Copies of this chain bind each other. A is one copy, B any other.
């Protein structure tokens, strides 16, 4: 009989024997088996092949008893369906940055079938391979975070071209965010239909704006996206990074879980938003320091954050040079904890 994944039970705040654990970027460069595959295939080849993407998604699960598998893809993966052309170097580089009305107009209303079909197939494979107690997660970039890459053209320090565009061409930015919102709502719902138990929305660059600018430019789109996905019955995790001044607003958005980086006091957030599930938030840099330091930091986190409704994770993606022993130490700390 199918077992409800521990992660979903935590999302609902149900009591459990222990806290669920997974790690952002758990399939990736810190794993020797991933680095080996990368000898043969580029990042893009891995993410574009449903077989390889499924294989990479499953790699960390073979090594660690994580409670979720997140499909191996890039936040840019669905954008070719909108007519966006990009390559990786090593992050996404957009061929024609979107910086005027014409470029916004040129973005296609995507055919749902074309929204990263390889991701859908990878999710189906992974869901079939894994026991029901392990949650399969889909994801997308939040509209603003996708717009950051589309307007700036590539990742980088503080996205100044994006901020200039937001100041000078607000109505074009709004149209761009609207198009991305529509596409991402469909994309997330389709991932759930393909077998994802829940989805995570990554808003990595929201903190570039002040609260009042965020309220005006970002909030309406993010709210729409989360509402649509929620109406389709899909459980939602909302990740926000480097935006501690926006935490109150993110906590009020219609998501089931708020996932925060290490700058935020997670126990404080739990106290402030009772009944809301939280995810995080060990500093991924702490794992670079080795298992002893990880153990101490993990125990401090578990000691401060109440177990009910807490999904253990890092505050951001695991770093490439992380020793495997550090991940072991985190897994042990979570598994050895006895519920209070």
Contact = CB atoms under 8 A, between A and B. Distances in A.
B163 A283 contact: yes
A297 B244 CA distance: 24
Interface in A197-222: 207-212
Q: How many copies does the complex hold?
A: 2
Given A208-B263, A263-B207, A265-B211, A285 B245 contact: no
A290 B168 CA distance: 8
A210 B161 CA distance: 28
A211 B260 CA distance: 14
A106 interface: no
A285 B244 contact: no
A278 interface: no
Contacts of A242: 207, 242
A210 B289 contact: no
Contacts of A283: 163, 167
A293 interface: yes
Interface in A250-294: 262-265, 283-290, 292-293
Question: On chain A, which size bracket covers the interface?
Answer: 35 or more
A164 B285 contact: yes
A150 to B, nearest CB: 16
Contacts of A263: 207-210, 245
Contacts of A163: 283, 285-286
Contacts of A160: 284-285, 288, 319
5 contacts: A160-B285, A207-B242, A207-B244, A210-B265, A245-B263
Interface of A: 158-165, 167-168, 207-212, 242, 244-245, 262-265, 283-290, 292-293, 297, 316, 319
Given A160-B285, A210-B264, A242-B242, 18 more contacts: A158-B316, A163-B285, A163-B286, A164-B286, A164-B293, A165-B289, A167-B283, A167-B285, A167-B289, A167-B297, A168-B289, A168-B292, A207-B244, A209-B263, A212-B265, A245-B245, A245-B263, A245-B264
